[in-house]
Amino acid sequence: MAYPSAVRIVEVGARDGLQNEVSVTTEQKIALINALVESGLRDIEAGAFVSPKWVPQMADSSEVIKGIAKHPNVTFSALTPNLKGAEAALDVGIKEFAIFTAASEAFTQKNINCSINESIERFKPVVELAKANGVKVRGYVSCVLGCPYQGEVEPEAVLDVCKQLLAMGCYEVSLGDTIGVGTPNKVHTLLSLLLEHISADKLAVHFHDTYGQALANISKALEMGIATIDSAVAGLGGCPYAKGASGNVATEDVVYLLQGLGIDPQIDLERLAKAGWAICEALNKQPISKVSLALQAKC
């Protein structure tokens, strides 16, 4: 089996995770992100410049980003759904914007209050602002393996949106299984189509673990050459516009899987687990990570 020789992890716990948990303080978010950096993570989604009426948990993103210790080798990114969000992100020094839409019309409407085509139009000035300021742009496509409102999503619909995001200037598109309904066969079908048109280095996988399939799905994606994986420390979170969706696959579990496959993600698993325990204590919950719980039991 030819797995990628190196894998990049994009840590989304401070955004995708905390957007769907009870609010923690700005200081607790800053402490989490600093601890994630210390564990070796180099791509960290640190917040979301979205409407505070829609997602109040992300309302302090500017303060969080101003407060974190900057590190020359770490990219801090943030969600920027429109020009207003992108300008606010730029103001606090964000070097990577993340624009997000979906392969399902119904989900796009619920999540960002517009159609897929309208979302692409909204992203144009965001990408222009990014280009003018040397900021990279990452794209997300939600509901790539199923939609909470529409059900089945055709792989061709995912391909269409991915192509549009790449054509407008995204360096990479992250494929969101927003409600975690995918299985390895579905991942295989989707990636087989996408990889006929898009090279593997322009794709990332972003799997929520609602049905416990995320690690199996990641394994399949790795086999097919995908080398960027999104995950959230302690398996935090979900999506406020996808009822019942649980958190992303836990970063601890992904790191353990990669180490077992002989791929060194250059992350200190113990430090990472400790970062997860601290934020879980603040949230008064247990980590949703078997690896984290196993390490905790040994302490």
Catalytic center residues: 239
Per-position x/- string for 118-157, each x denoting binding to ligand HMG as judged by CB under 6 A, each - no binding: ----------------------x-x---------------
CA distances from residue 297 to 100, 140, 198, 278, 279 in whole angstroms, order as listed: 38, 36, 43, 15, 17
Site for ligand HMG in 191-220 (CB under 6 A): 206, 208
Least distance CB 241 / ligand HMG (angstroms): 6
Residue with smallest beta-carbon separation from Mg ion: 16
Of the candidate spans 10-18, 49-57, 79-87, 131-139, the one that interacts with Mg ion by CB under 5 A turns out to be 10-18
Query: Are 183 and 213 a contacting pair, CB within 8 Å?
Result: yes
Closest separation between CB of residue 206 and Mg ion, Å?
6
Nearest residue to ligand HMG on Cβ basis: 176
Q: Which of residues 201-230 bind Mg ion (CB under 5 A)?
A: none
Which of Mg ion, ligand HMG, none does residue 81 bind (CB under 5 to 8 Å by kind)? ligand HMG
Supply φ then ψ for residue 204, to 5 degrees. Answer: -130, 160
124-127-131-133 Cα dihedral, nearest 10 degrees:
120
Sole binder of ligand HMG in the list 54, 109, 155, 293 (CB under 6 A): 54
Which stretch in 9-17, 88-96, 109-117, 257-265 sits in contact with Mg ion by CB under 5 A? 9-17
Residues of span 70-109 touching ligand HMG by CB under 6 A: 79, 81-82, 84-85, 100
Between vectors from CA 207 to CA 68 and to CA 217, what angle results, nearest 5°?
A: 135
Q: Which of 123, 221, 208 is nearest to 170 (CA)?
A: 123
Residues for the chain: how many in total?
A: 299
CA 156 to chain CA mean position, Å: 22
Positions 16 through 55 that interact with Mg ion (CB under 5 A) = 16
Contact segment (CB under 6 A) with ligand HMG among 2-10, 195-203, 239-247, 286-294 equals 239-247
51 is an interface residue for ligand HMG by CB under 6 A:
yes
Nearer to Mg ion, 16 or 172 (CB): 16
Query: From the list Mg ion, ligand HMG, none, which binds 228 (C-beta under 5 to 8 Å, kind-based)?
Result: none
Identify whether the C-beta of residue 150 lies closer than 8 Å to the C-beta of residue 114. no
What residue 191 binds from Mg ion, ligand HMG, none (CB within 5 to 8 A, per partner kind)? none
Between CA 64 and CA 53 the distance in angstroms is: 18
List interacting residues with Mg ion (CB under 5 A): 16
Point out which residues bind ligand HMG (CB under 6 A). Answer: 16, 19, 48-51, 54-55, 79, 81-82, 84-85, 100, 111-113, 140, 142, 176, 178, 206, 208, 239-241
